[in-house]
Amino acid sequence: MTDDLDRDGQHSLAILLSASMGCAMTVLDTNIVAIVLPSVAQDLGATFADVEWVISTYVLCFAALLLPAGAIADRFGRRKVFLAGIAAFAAASILCGAAPSATALYLARALQGVGAAFLLAPALAIIGHSFHGEAERARAWAIWGGIMGLTMVLSPMLGGVIAHGLGWRWAFFVNLPICLLLAVAVLRLIGESRDVAARRLDPLGIATFAGAMLGLTWGLINGQAHGWSSAAALGGFAGGSASLGAFLAVESRQARPMLDLSLFRMPRFIGAVLAMFAYAASAQVMASLLPLYLQNGVGWPPLEAGFAMLPFALAMLIFPQVGRLLGRRLASYRILALGLGVVAAGNAVTAWAVAGGRWPLVILGMICLGSGGGLLNGETQKAIMSSVPRNRAGMASGLSTTSRFSGILLGFALLSAVLAVVARSSLIGEVCASFAGHCSAAPDFAASVVAGDLPRAITLMPHDLQAVALETAHRGYAAGFSAALSVAALIAGSSAVLVTFLMRQPSR
């Protein structure tokens, strides 16, 4: 009898580890790719807009398909959909690693985002289905959270090792053996499950939501590349706004919508969702932006940049536990406001330190930023789930995850646009002022620096001025990154005030 219980426990743990590994792959890939982006730019001659799309196409497809992926998994079988997600992710990783151009790379990244959605959604559903008792479920989610946190700590270092020793293409090829092992584990360990009462798919809702995210991202990326009054930027914003309006109209008329808009009649729910979005847009997004600064603004190679992410990543890992301790004494909205306030302070300190080249303070700012992010990472999901009735938990959970990745997508596009515009302006001005006779090369110099192709940028200057040009490049990129951090601080600080106001409202 005891042996049977032990075997059941081991089997449950194996299921949990397999499903958690599926979730962790989505974090692993995102953070490894963030480290190798400058190498991608140099090898493929990518523009900054191309670099943005490498991140954005992945997160866009991921965010747009999370809710429908969950519905498809519930209806057609979680194990079957999980395996399909693994296969799609592996195939897309091959295409990414073999990409001959930046365009081919970011199109393959879109397919990888689709695979990631069909990895994460069924994996979460499998965990929820496999663990039933309150204590058992709490333990399972604690282990899941630890695995996700550990992945966040290790992936920048792994990305640095890969870029240093193998080249950027292996940032994608490394997924293949992991996918193979994961597929074998799923086939051997996880039984099929489905929800006979699963909600129907909502094709119009899926299409209009994806259109809204694509349009806004298109506008932000093309705005910094071609000008904010360009046809591409204005068309993107107009299309995104129209798609958002269509999405709200479609969902308000559905009997069983993908998103129940009546949830937004609850101020506490709005506040919790806003906290999740702001956390993703001002803190979690730094997992992609900080490695770019460490390489393009400080001048470190990928290996050193990966290890330099440790202060941020360790704080993100540790502080969810601090948040749980604070939860015994503080109301949820106070922890959310505190976390957003700490994120705002971390962004502000880092912005000031980056602008002045004060490296010890940059580390302090990264720790502060990661600490606030850690507090929010542990509390945002709980706040969303506790602000709605229990019978709406499934909808609230899906919206929580979608809010997170929508925040990463739009936060990355917005902050990257700020970075690019300010860095270009600073670099063009400094080149024209400091390098007499070379002002005509300033736009190309600035474009190469912002894209992360510093070797090409300095070749645009005479050989005897290249050392000075490299210092100029680092300063200009740092100026842009400092401006982006300042905007992130503003987002987090204003959101802290709004979250406090909304979540102090009485429940309805």
**Comparing C-alpha atoms, which of 275, 265, 268, 341 is closest to residue 503?**
268
Alpha carbon distance 146, 81 (integer Å): 25
> 267-508 — its CATH code?
1.20.1250.20
Residue whose pair of structure tokens reads 């803190």 in the numeric block: 283
Count of CB atoms situated within 10 Å of the CB of 324: 15
Could you tell me the pTM of the whole model? 0.85
Cβ-Cβ contacts under 8 Å for 30 (sequence gap 6 or more): 55, 58, 59, 155, 287, 288
Q: For each of the chain's 508 residues, which pLDDT tens digit applies?
A: 444 434 555 667 788 888 888 888 888 888 888 888 888 888 888 888 888 888 888 888 888 787 778 778 777 788 888 899 999 999 999 999 999 998 899 899 999 999 998 888 888 778 777 776 667 766 776 777 777 777 877 888 888 888 888 888 998 998 999 999 989 988 888 777 766 655 667 778 778 888 888 888 888 888 777 778 888 888 888 988 998 888 888 877 776 666 777 777 788 888 888 998 999 899 988 888 898 899 888 888 888 888 888 888 888 888 887 877 887 788 878 888 999 999 999 999 999 999 888 888 999 999 999 999 888 887 777 777 666 665 555 566 667 777 888 888 888 888 988 998 899 888 888 877 777 667 877 888 888 888 888 888 888 777 777 788 788 888 889 999 999 999 999 999 999 999 998 887 655 5
203-226 and 393-434 helices, crossing angle to 10°: 10
User: Two tokens at 9?
Assistant: 């426990």
The CATH homologous superfamily to which domain 1-199 belongs is MFS general substrate transporter like domains (1.20.1250.20)
